Structure 1
Amino acid sequence: MEHADSAPSLSSRGGSEIESNYLETGLYITSFAATISVAALFAVGLLFITLLIALAFMLQSCQSRSSGVIQLLETSNDYGYCKVFALHAELNALETDEFPKVCKTLAIQYVKEGQYLRDLKLTMSVAESYLSSLAPQNDGLDVVLIDLDDIFLSNPCTRQLHNRLGQHDMNEWAEEAKHLKRMLVLGLYKKLQARGWSLILITRKPEEQRNAVQENLVDAGYGGWSSLIMRSDAEMQMASWEYLSGKRAHLQNQSFRITSVISSQLDALTGPCIGKRNFKLANPIYYRLKDQNNSIQLLR
């Protein structure tokens, strides 16, 4: 009996130990699973935050690109508009104040970003290529007519441009544009001279400034020209295109053969008696100014 009573007692105690072990084991497994779950949730949260940051950067990049494309399109549209307006202004001799402000801004960018220099070089290259393919006769009557006002500007005009655009703009692009054109025209000038072309310089400046103009030309390296044409007092009252075309006609009547006219100004490239092939130099902007003698100066 004693033995019998003791067996269930042991069995009962054994059951208790087993149950206790089961409960303890169950609690251990549940804690491990919770730890794994928390870690998984943290990883998912971190991944989600990383994804949000990546999406934010991508969105910002797309917006920047879109803004850049829009700005490029706007700049392109403005450039096209200003290019057309510049031709319109030159054809109609519009005053400076009638030129849109956005076009003046683009004109500064046109010089500072190097496109003006590239366009000048391209025009010079085309002119040089054409004229080098021809051989002038030995009689000295085959001439290239060069617009002198593309090389030098009168001081009154320079002061008026300074007043209109301000010190910063004058220093930043106007002087640079003049220097670039002067150097490139000089390079072409010397090459044509070496090939035997007769070079005739023409300007809208009055005859009374001849000594000063000649001195400036020599100082800048422009020597050995065939002729320097300047306005008489009677011609000062004429429109520029009329004066220029009249001088070309006079040269032709003297048996000169005008092979080419090189200028950045439209009035020098219109009318009768122009060359066989003419070249218009690039310009950052069009200006119509008047000097102290009330002569019209076209300034780019």
Structure 2
Amino acid sequence: MASGRNMIVLLIFAFANKSFSETIIQMHPAAHRAHADDKGSGFYCESWRYSVETNDAGEWRSIPARCIEFVKDYITGERYRSDLEVVAENSLEFVKNVKMVGDGKDAWVFDIDETLLSNVPYYAAHGFGSESFNEKTFNDWVGLAEAPALTASLRLYKELSEMGVTLILLTGREEFQRNATEKNLLDAGFSHWEKLLLRNPLDKGKPATTYKSERRKEIEDEGYTIHGCSGDQWSDLMGYAMGIRSFKLPNPMYYIP
């Protein structure tokens, strides 16, 4: 009798185990299909954004049509703000462990657009980057000097200043936009920068990676040690004279080579 009961238990266990295994195998693809295209985002758009931020996507030209709503939800939501907070925290944690000389030559280089100032109000009116870039309308927006600060970046900026780090701003904006840029920065809470470097006529047509590398090299040639660089584009951070550490802020709206 005991052996009979044991055989029944084994058969029940084997059947249950087989059924459970088959359920697991079949459930995952079905669940994936059910959520993959929710509002045109889901797994595909999250993976696309990952490839953009890690630079696996290389020189991408536009947001996939199916991901426009996804980018809008991301860039206007808590996820974007949380990602910015983490980048700022990582930057601060790094600099706290840096041995600085303290001679005024310990520097941090910041990009401006989507790094210190947010152009989301502009891009909200232009498809969150899904429309072709219009230089005139964007320059008109810059001239208004109304871009708000990215809160996490402003806090990092102020903490670096209090630590005695020399703050250098390196932007792809052009020299004719200096007054508007300075006003916007000051109104948004940024101050006490050492240099504000903009493109001059000789820089016209240079890829951002080349232009920014040349400017960073000039900074180093002046005796500064660039402990950190912050930017939303890989072209803000790559090239040469890159500094000791680079910190990439998220930006799935556009790519600048």
Instruction: State whether TM-score is above 0.5.
Output: yes
Name 1:252's counterpart in structure 2.
220
Name 1:80's counterpart in structure 2.
47
1:152 pairs with one of 105, 117, 125:
117
Name 1:95's counterpart in structure 2.
61
Q: Any idea what the Cα deviations from partners look like across 1:129-178, whole Å, max 9, x if unmatched?
A: 111122422211110001112233679x937x624459xxxxxxxxxxx8
Name 2:95's counterpart in structure 1.
131
1:173-188 aligned within 5 A? 182-188=150-156
Q: Secondary structure at the match of 1:287?
A: coil
How far off is 1:105 after superposition? 2.1
- For residues 216 and 85 of structure 2, the distance between their equivalents in structure 1, rounded to whole angstroms, comes to 26
How far off is 1:113 after superposition? 4.9
1:33-48 aligned within 5 A? none
Name 1:29's counterpart in structure 2.
none
TM-score by length of 2: 0.70
The reply to whether residue 204 of structure 1 matches residue 168 of structure 2 is no
% identical aligned pairs: 24
2:34 pairs with one of 68, 71, 81:
71
Question: Contact conserved, 1:136 with 1:196, CA < 8 A, in 2?
Answer: no
Return the letter of the residue paired with 1:84.
Answer: S
- For residues 230 and 67 of structure 2, the distance between their equivalents in structure 1, rounded to whole angstroms, comes to 25
Question: Contact conserved, 2:118 with 2:150, CA < 8 A, in 1?
Answer: no
1:140 pairs with one of 79, 89, 104:
104
The reply to whether residue 114 of structure 1 matches residue 78 of structure 2 is yes
Question: Contact conserved, 1:86 with 1:286, CA < 8 A, in 2?
Answer: no
**Distance of aligned partners of 1:84 and 1:208 in 2 relative to their CA distance in 1, 3 Å threshold:** same
**Distance of aligned partners of 1:82 and 1:142 in 2 relative to their CA distance in 1, 3 Å threshold:** closer
Name 2:125's counterpart in structure 1.
162
Return the letter of the residue paired with 2:117.
Answer: F
Q: In structure 2, list runs of 5 or more residues that go unmatched.
A: 1-27, 130-146
Question: Contact conserved, 2:229 with 2:245, CA < 8 A, in 1?
Answer: yes
Name 2:207's counterpart in structure 1.
239
Question: Contact conserved, 2:53 with 2:250, CA < 8 A, in 1?
Answer: no
The reply to whether residue 215 of structure 1 matches residue 178 of structure 2 is no
**Distance of aligned partners of 1:265 and 1:81 in 2 relative to their CA distance in 1, 3 Å threshold:** closer
- For residues 198 and 206 of structure 1, the distance between their equivalents in structure 2, rounded to whole angstroms, comes to 22
2:193 pairs with one of 220, 225, 228:
225
1:265 pairs with one of 233, 237, 243:
233
The reply to whether residue 286 of structure 1 matches residue 250 of structure 2 is no
Q: Secondary structure at the match of 1:189?
A: helix
- For residues 69 and 243 of structure 2, the distance between their equivalents in structure 1, rounded to whole angstroms, comes to 34
Question: Which structure's CA Rg is the greater one?
Answer: 1
**Distance of aligned partners of 1:242 and 1:76 in 2 relative to their CA distance in 1, 3 Å threshold:** same
Q: Report the aligned-residue RMSD.
A: 3.1
Number of aligned residue pairs: 208
- For residues 195 and 77 of structure 2, the distance between their equivalents in structure 1, rounded to whole angstroms, comes to 37
Q: In structure 1, list runs of 5 or more residues that go unmatched.
A: 1-64, 167-177, 289-297
